[in-house]
Amino acid sequence: MKISLNWIKDYITLPQDITLSKLAYDLTMSTVEVEEIHDLSLQFEDMAVGVVREVLPHPDADKLVVCTVDVGDRDGGGTDACDAGEAILRQIVCGGINVAEGMKVAVARPGSKVRWHGEGDLVELKKVKVRGVESYGMICSSSEIGLFDLFPYTDEATIMDISEFEANAGTPLAKALGLDDIILEIDNKSLTNRPDLWGHYGIAREISAIYGLELKEISPYDARAKTDLIPKSNREAFQITIADPELCPRYIGIRIEGISINPAPFHIQSRIWRVGMRPINAIVDITNYVMLATGQPTHAFDADIVSGNINIRRAKDKEDLLLLDKTKLSLTPDDLVIADEKEAIALAGVMGGEKDSILQSTKNVILEVANFNALSVRRTSMRFDVRTGAATRFEKGIDPERADIALSVAMDMFSAFFPNMEVTGYHDNYPNKLQQKEIFVSHSWLEKRLGMKMSRDYITRLLERLGFEVSFDLNVPDCANAAAADPGGDLMRVLTPTWRSTGDVGIPDDIVEEVARIHGLENFEPAPIVTAFSRAINQPEIEIDRKIREYLAFRCGMNEIYSYPWVADEYISAVFGSEALISGADMLKMSSPPAPNERFLRSSLLPGLCKAVSDNLRFIGEFAIFESAQVFFDRDYSSVYDKRESLPLQRRHVAGAFVAERDKYGDVFRRAKGAIEAMSRNIHIEPIILRQCDSSAKPFWADDTIWQTITTSDPASNPTNNAVKDGGDLAADNANISGGSAIGMLGLLSQKAAQGCGIKNAAVLLFELDIDALSPLLSRTNTFSHIPEYPMTEYDVSLLFDSSVKWEDIHNTACANRSSHMGKSAPQGSGQGSNLRGVSFVEEYKGKQIPDGKKSVTIRLLIGSPKKTLTSEEIESQAGATVKRLCKALGGELRA
Amino acid sequence: MKEKLEQIFADGQARIENALSASALADVKAYLLGKQGAITEALKEIPKLDASLRAEIGRAANDLKNKFTELIDAKREEISLKAAEIPSDFDLTIPGAPPVSGALHPITQMCYDLNDTFRSMGFEIFEESDITSELYAFDNLNFPPDHPARESMDTYWIAGHEHGRGGERLCLRPHLTGASVRYMQTRKPPYRFVYPGRAYRNEATDARHERAFFQYEALIVDRDFTFSSGKVMIKSILSKIFGRDVPVRMRIGFFPFVEPGFEIDMGCLVCGGAGCSVCKHVGWIEIMPGGTPHPNVLRAAGLDPDEYTGFYVNIGLDRLTMMRCEIDDVRLFRGGDLRFLRQFC
């Protein structure tokens, strides 16, 4: 909203010491956000009133004339025409068809900025020759200096004639035209809760409160004095009926005869133009002016077109209404209309109708100053997408009392513009008078909330500036109850002004805000935050998500991504099959999605991840990414917070992708598997294990061979986390014990799914896991093992196996007589006598030198004794025994 | 004979000196001390000498042998040290081998920085699910029944659940504030907690607007707490996040769930408050709303608003991260583009 500082000055006198920037700052701090301060006169810099002394034909151009113009320059150097010096006349070439000797014109001097023919960018004028004749700037047309709305013309070659303005040659143009104004641009969003501020008077009231200035009163329209003059018969003939007082709390209609459709006086046109509206004619300009001044929208009908009395009613179903802007509406009973005896003539509070609008021929008008229900206006305005200044104001909740001052401002203008007019009808139908809000506030409570002491007098003064009525020492009869409850006299009674009583202010906390903001928010001392310590913060279930993310990023070298919770159909279909799209597969849908193909909310992070993989593959060949976010399921509705609530199942998931060239599927598998396997140790959760169960568990997207289910291990059969105890690669032991429930999947994206995601020639190894299914350990559980007293030897050996032999079997066979504990307890069971301490994988090799159908596996044996240093014969003997067992059990042979 | 020994010494010394490799030195050693070596040959001469000279020459020859052994050992040491020496043309400018290069998302980084800061002030962290109900997104937060946000298309309502009321009407949460009531309902006051998360709004995206964005809210509720303390809290947090003193101002603003409500601005870090294009020439940048919880919100949480009060702040993490990392397009955050994300390793 634009606010004119000159207009504000109608209502208050600003002290000299308040600079513009301070005013804007203080308004921003206490009331509304001033986004910009705009000095209008800058637009007219180096432009002045010129008086044309002589007009001669241009020697070389038919359509141009050469003018001699007094622009106030005097040889004393001044530019003031009153200066004693001799006038320096300027020669200006002009194309205006209306230019004449003696005419006052707008001269743009060299250095000023104009818009050629009213189009394009601003151009700086220079002293130039026009067809051989020197020209000192230009004589402007209104569109060249942005004033077309105030000085309209029909022929483009018309220059601005400002002869009617009382100004001497040389007067700066902005001053001469009264355009030397400051415009404050206010952020409308900061006004939404303040219906009282949608006009200049409201803003002036705030400024007066902030600085303690006097606010000029606008006295209400004295209806009695005026209506007594109306003949009784007319009075009775002019009736407003309100069919639905709920939607129309007040309607004042006033019939005015004997007006004519002329332009409004220039200073009125100029005012509404300065704050962004286009002048139309005196009647329309009055209605706009009143709204901009008081925030109260008004409307004028052509009284001769209205048939019979006015009725404010709900529209009939499918009732037609042609609006002023020629929009044709088919109304509903939820829309409120102004109707005459025949039909609807205006959409209440939104826009007038075409039929009864003000035309050039209008002689008599009915002026409407009314109040409409905020919600009803907003719904109607939204329903038909008709946004107007009136609707914007009504939907904030204007108080019906404001109609009085609005009518007063309007009638002052009518009588000033049309001295011969006559009021021939007046009816103020106000069925439900607005009740001012009464609030009781404890003084001590107020001080506590403010964090400072404040005297009764001071509080009263601050609030009274805003129009509140404040009383202490409550013993008046109507406050008896309040006084009884407050024997100490701590309570104060605050009566809210009508313009703040439509929902804006109503509880003691609102009074805290009013006092605080007028006292000045920066006048409160910073107060320290006091705390009492009761316990340390311990939130493992919250921390686990962070631990996982940090583990994946910092230990596993993955990049975290964010994606949207809605997923494009093509990725859902690629990852989960087109069946999923059709059945919905437990997925929730949005009622108005961002795009038609993004209806579904994710129940898995994988489709989004695949999209990111596909996008990144255009630039990068090898990478690893992950995302941690919530997923949603259309089932298991419940709420632990409120029994009235029913929320769908929502789980925290984490998913990742390791991406490399297609033939590196083995590598990405091992990286992903390693990341999952080592996760439990790194983030302190109960162990999780990977295994391939029956093929029905294979997810749609996974390759037929490379996929595994991630499950929780059964804690009962897995005491004290010994899987990782002695540093060996023994986690695979757990594959033998029965696992817990599935909490995720790991697998290679199948060729087909990859194709559906637009991924070519890449190995994409995906995993996804349910964070909420992980159980964080309460503390670290990895306890200390003694460092071996005698040396341990790593002994590498390569063996040739059938390529169908699994590592797990090799490992288990090799470990069959492993001694599982070092130092702490004596070797036991099958471990007796064995010096094998661990077996780990080094590499697997196929290719040159290896026969088809075979593979070479290099394993590392950890050999040592807790009792002594082994001799090389003893080491060789242990290794030989293990190799022999592997060869015998699995058909391996030692490679040379 | 003596002269001969001296000559052998001089010759041997030169040979040792000139041996540049371990193998050359071995040859020299064999030549001097081997079975057919110079010394051995010389010793063979001794029996032919006059008896009176034998002892002296014998001693001298032995001395010579020992000297050569010493010299050769020293030379061997020198050669082996030299072999292990780093070539002087080693290039110190070759790049370091990078460590594992994963990274958290820049917004996650900001979120964790805030978590750490708030934790240091005794705040708990709370998480609410992304899908919530009208009951928590609006009803509990003092949004009037006819508030535009409820009816408008600004909110992503869930299909099949968009027509109900309250707890049955579901949406992707339009803000985080509803989570505060969930926290309060399930714990005993006083409260001091933060609740980061995603929020969603149905609007067109551009360089400054997102449909899915990250918010971070904090709430303190206690018997005595004034907005002046709220300002202190905000100032401490921002100064920690940006690593320098950040000016903060609170100006009046309206939000249904607070009373009084504030818009909170921080001094523009680009121009230092002098005014620039980033701050639209006002020297301040709006970063969060905040204020005292509205009595109706405290009531919804089961508290007596006459007894308890507090302070909310709601930080837009996208915006804050953009300011800290000088990012000019908010859409980069959810694009998953590694060329962007790898800059935050």
Task: With beta carbons less than 8 A apart as the criterion, state whether B290 and B314 touch.
Answer: yes
pLDDT at A393 over 80: yes
Count CB atoms within 10 A of the CB of residue A698. 19
DSSP A672-733: HHHHHHHHHHHHTBS-EEEE---GGG--TTEEEEEEEEEEEE-GGGSGGGGGGTTSSS-GGG
pLDDT at B97: 86
Q: Between the CA atoms of A452, A454, A458 and A461, what dihedral angle is there, to the nearest 10 degrees?
A: 70
How many domains does the structure of chain A reveal?
6
Per-residue burial over A873-888, b if 16 or more Cβ lie within 10 Å, else e, is ebbeebbeebbeebbe
Residues A316 and A380 in one domain: yes
In a domain, A485, yes or no: yes
ipTM of the complex: 0.85
Structure tokens at A35: 């986004």
Q: Which two tokens stand for residue A585?
A: 């597969």
Q: Cβ of A534: how many Cβ atoms within 10 Å?
A: 7
Decide if B67 touches A, using CB distance below 8 A.
Answer: no
Average pLDDT over residues A182-188: 95
Same domain, B173 and B204: yes
Counts for chain B of helices (H) and strands (E), in that order = 12, 9
Task: Assign residue B240 the CATH number of its domain.
Answer: 3.30.930.10
Give strand pairing partners of A299: A368
Contact A641 B253 (CB under 8 A): no
Mean pLDDT of A669-685: 93
Nearby residues of A826 by Cβ (< 8 Å), 6 or more positions away: none
Enter the pTM of the model: 0.84
Q: Say which residue the tokens 């050693």 belong to.
A: B29
Same domain, B164 and B44: no
Q: How far apart are CA A645 and CA A639, in angstroms?
A: 6
Averaged pLDDT score across all residues of chain A? 89
Q: How confident is the model at residue A583, as a pLDDT?
A: 81
Residues constituting chain B = 345
Categorize the per-residue pLDDT at A832 as very low, low, confident or very high, splitting at 50, 70 and 90: very low
- For A183, the token pair is 């415009």
B42 with B124, same domain?
no
Number of domains in chain B: 2
Q: How confident is the model over A235-290, as pLDDT tens digits?
A: 778 899 999 999 999 999 999 999 999 999 999 999 999 999 999 999 999 999 99
Distances (CA, A) of A317 to A332, A639, B251: 5, 42, 47
Three-state secondary-structure class, residue A129: strand
Q: Answer whether residue A130 shows pLDDT above 90.
A: no
Distance from CA of B93 to the nearest CA of A (A): 25
Last residue of a domain, which of B84, B117, B150? B84
Nearest residue in B to A506, CA atom:
B259
Q: Within 13 Å, how many C-alpha atoms sit on residue A344's CB side?
A: 27
- Give buried/exposed letters for B145-176 (b at 16+ CB in 10 A, else e): eeeeebeeeebbbbbebbeeebbbbbbbbbbb
Give the Cβ contact number of residue A707 at 10 Å. 23
**Structural domain contains residue A182:** no
Degrees to nearest 5, angle at CA A460 with A456 and A464: 180
The whole-number pLDDT of residue A821 equals 47
Type of residue found at A583 = S
Domain enclosing residue A564, as ranges: 540-773
Q: pLDDT at position A829, please?
A: 38
A589 with A644, same domain: the answer is: yes
**How does DSSP classify residue A592?**
S
The series of mean pLDDT values per 10 residues for chain B, 345 residues long, is 84 88 88 84 81 83 88 90 86 86 94 93 94 96 86 86 92 95 95 96 88 95 91 89 90 93 90 82 88 96 94 92 88 94 91
Kindly state whether residue A529 falls inside one of the protein's structural domains.
no
Query: Is A230 a member of any domain?
Result: yes
Q: Is the pLDDT of residue A557 over 90?
A: yes
B95 is a domain residue? no
Look at residue B90 and tell me if it is in a domain: no
Whether A647 sits inside 8 A of B232 (CB atoms) is: no
Residue where a domain stops, chosen among B84, B115, B145:
B84
CA A269 vs. chain centroid, Å, equals: 36
Distance CA A70, CA A67 (A): 10
**Same-domain status, A230 and A299:** yes
Residue A23 shares a structural domain with residue A134: no
Both tokens assigned to A426: 């007046």
What residue type is assigned to position A487 of the chain?
P
Residues of B within 8 A of A513 (CB-CB) are 252, 259-261
| Domain contains A526 | no
Flag whether pLDDT at A724 surpasses 60: no
Q: How far is A180 from chain B (nearest CA, A)?
A: 23
In this structure, the strands spanning A250-257 and A138-139 are unpaired
Based on the fold, state whether residues A677 and A728 are members of the same structural domain: yes
| Calpha distance A856→A799 (Å, rounded) | 6
Of B84, B119, B143, which closes a domain? B84
The verdict on B285 touching A (C-beta cutoff 8 Å) is: no
Residues A620, A510 share a domain: no
Contacts of B186 (CB under 8 A, 6+ apart): A640, A641
Interface A–B counts its CB contacts (< 8 A) at 231
Q: What's the pLDDT tens digit per position in A362-373?
A: 999 999 999 999
**Confidence class for position A833, pLDDT limits 50, 70, 90:** low
Give the residue-averaged pLDDT of A626-630. Answer: 97
Domain end point (choices A411, A429, A447): A429
Cα-based torsion angle of the residue sequence A331, A336, A338, A343 in order, rounded to the nearest 10 degrees = 30
Question: How many angstroms separate the most distant Cα atoms in chain B?
Answer: 133
The mean pLDDT of A491-505, rounded to a whole number, is: 93
CA B281 to chain centre: 33
Q: For residue B283, what is the nearest residue in chain A, using CA coordinates?
A: A25
CA distance A338 to A426: 16
Strand partners of residue A375? none
Q: Quick check: A776 and A794 in contact, CB under 8 A?
A: no
In a domain, B188, yes or no: yes
Asked if A554's CB is within 8 angstroms of B229's CB, the reply is: no
First to last CA, chain B: 79
Question: What does A153-187 look like in DSSP terms, one character per residue?
Answer: -SSTTPPPB-TTS---TT-BHHHHTT---EEEEE-
Interchain CB distance below 8 Å, B100 and A527? no
The amino acid at A627: E
| Euclidean distance between CA atoms A605 and A883, whole angstroms | 45
Say if residue A60 is in the same domain as residue A18: no
Do A49 and A118 fall into the same domain? yes
Query: What amino acid occupies position A79?
Result: T
**Is residue B273 within 8 angstroms of chain A, CB to CB?**
no
Do both A713 and A598 map to the same domain? Answer: yes
Interface test with A, best of B111, B119, B124, B129 (most A CBs within 10 A): B129
Q: Which residues from B are below 8 Å from A562, CB to CB?
A: 105, 107, 333-334, 336
Residue A782 lies in a domain: no
Claim to verify: residue A358 and residue A310 sit in the same structural domain: yes
* A608 contact residues in B (CB cutoff 8 A): 336
Question: Is B96 part of any domain?
Answer: no
Instruction: Give one DSSP letter per residue of A380-447, joined into a string.
Output: HHHHTT---HHHHHHTT---GGGHHHHHHHHHHHHHHH-TT-EEEEEEEE--SPPPPPEEEEEHHHHH
Separation between Cα atoms, residue B50 and residue B189, nearest integer Å: 115
B36-57 per-residue burial string, b: 16 or more CB within 10 A, e: under 16: ebbbeebbeeeeeeeeeeeeeb
CATH code: domain of residue A685: 3.30.930.10
Q: What is the pLDDT of residues A689-711, one digit of tens each?
A: 898 877 888 999 999 999 999 99
B133 and B212 both lie in a single domain: yes
B39 and B128 within one domain: no
Closest C-alpha among B147, B144, B141 to residue B175: B141
Q: Tell me how far apart the alpha carbons of residues A142 and A157 are, in angstroms, rounded to a whole number.
A: 10
Q: Return left, alpha or beta for A758; rule: phi > 0 is left, psi -120 to 50 is alpha, else beta.
A: left
Task: Name the closest residue on chain A to residue B286, using Cα atoms.
Answer: A33
- Containing domain of residue B114, as a range? 106-344
pLDDT score recorded for residue A714: 55
pLDDT grade for A478, boundaries at 50, 70 and 90: low
- Give the model confidence (pLDDT) of A845-875 as tens digits: 988 889 999 999 999 999 999 899 999 999 9
Choose among A552, A854, A825, A525: nearest CA to A682.
Answer: A552
Nearest to A527 among B166, B229, B254 (CB): B229
User: pLDDT at position A318, please?
Assistant: 95
* CATH number of the domain encompassing residue A156: 2.40.50.140
